[in-house]
């Protein structure tokens, strides 16, 4: 039986690419802006950007394109275009149903994202899912962003649950590393980046979509620390 089939106390979600279907849109914008600025973005460089903090992304782009790369201008252009193209923020397939089922069962929920607070809150509100979560941890709330475990540890602390009794959903390599380092049962739902064998080994399940996670939700007995409801999640097969 999968380790995910045990009762758990809370579920913590990454945002972009996991809850929200924003990464493909952002990828197109990144290529567009880089071309406009005279730089040749590649899939290899972009793949390393997925799930990274602004600091890590800035360092990556400067290492890739040289110290003359105008990251501040790049970031401003990407944000402006993203805002104009995502007046309605799409939700990943199955995500709304999953968080709805968890909320109805009384399971504490959180978001742990590398995005800044204004971006995260705006997108979650535009997507119509912000009200599902008991707490939202953004880049502004931590000293160390993913792949450091601090975002996930902060979310668990706010929910007043032990990290080892949490399930974390992620789509990126840095996110998987962060959730695993926090001691959480980590589920990867790949979006633009597929896991290597090393990354897959850090996960208790790698699922095709959030809909697959929802398909395997069933109620479980009360745990020793007193939650009224729990869920069991079984990985496919």
Would you name the residues annotated as active-site residues?
14, 16
With a CB cutoff of 8 Å and minimum separation 6, the contacts of 22 are 16, 82, 86, 89, 90, 123
Record the tokens describing residue 163, joined without a space. 């990290």
Contacts of 111 (CB under 8 A, 6+ apart): 12, 13, 14, 15, 19, 120, 124, 133, 135, 136, 137, 155
CA triple 47-56-92, angle to 5 deg: 50
Q: Which of 119, 106, 130, 44 shows the shortest CA–CA distance to 78? A: 119
Strands of 82-148, DSSP E: 109-112, 135-137
Structure tokens at 62: 């400067």
CB atoms within 10 A of CB 123: 22
DSSP type of residue 187: E
- The DSSP bridge partners found for residue 113 are none
In the block, tokens 């279907």 appear at 21
- Cβ neighbourhood burial of 66 (10 Å; 0-12, 13-18, 19+): exposed
């Amino acid at each position: 039986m999968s380790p995910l089939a045990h009762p758990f106390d809370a579920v913590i979600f990454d945002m972009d690419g996991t809850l929200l279907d924003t990464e493909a849109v952002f990828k197109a914008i990144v290529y567009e802006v880089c071309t406009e600025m005279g730089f040749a973005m590649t899939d290899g460089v972009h793949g390393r950007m997925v799930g990274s903090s602004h600091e890590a992304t800035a360092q990556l782009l400067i290492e890739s394109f040289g110290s003359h790369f105008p990251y501040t201008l790049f970031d401003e252009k990407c944000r402006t275009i993203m805002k104009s193209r995502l007046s309605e923020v799409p939700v990943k397939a199955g995500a709304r149903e999953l968080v709805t089922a968890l909320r109805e069962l009384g399971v504490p929920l959180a978001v742990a994202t590398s995005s800044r607070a204004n971006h995260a809150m705006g997108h979650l509100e535009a997507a119509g899912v912000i009200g599902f979560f008991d707490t939202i941890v953004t880049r502004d709330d931590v000293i160390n962003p993913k792949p450091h475990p601090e975002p996930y540890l902060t979310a668990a602390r706010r929910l007043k649950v032990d990290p080892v009794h949490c399930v974390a959903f992620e789509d990126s390599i840095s996110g998987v590393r962060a959730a695993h380092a926090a001691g959480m049962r980590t589920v990867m739902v790949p979006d633009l980046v597929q896991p290597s064998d090393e990354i897959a080994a850090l996960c208790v399940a790698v699922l095709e979509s959030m809909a697959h996670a929802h398909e395997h939700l069933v109620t479980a007995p009360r745990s020793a620390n007193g939650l009224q409801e729990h869920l069991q999640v079984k990985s496919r097969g």
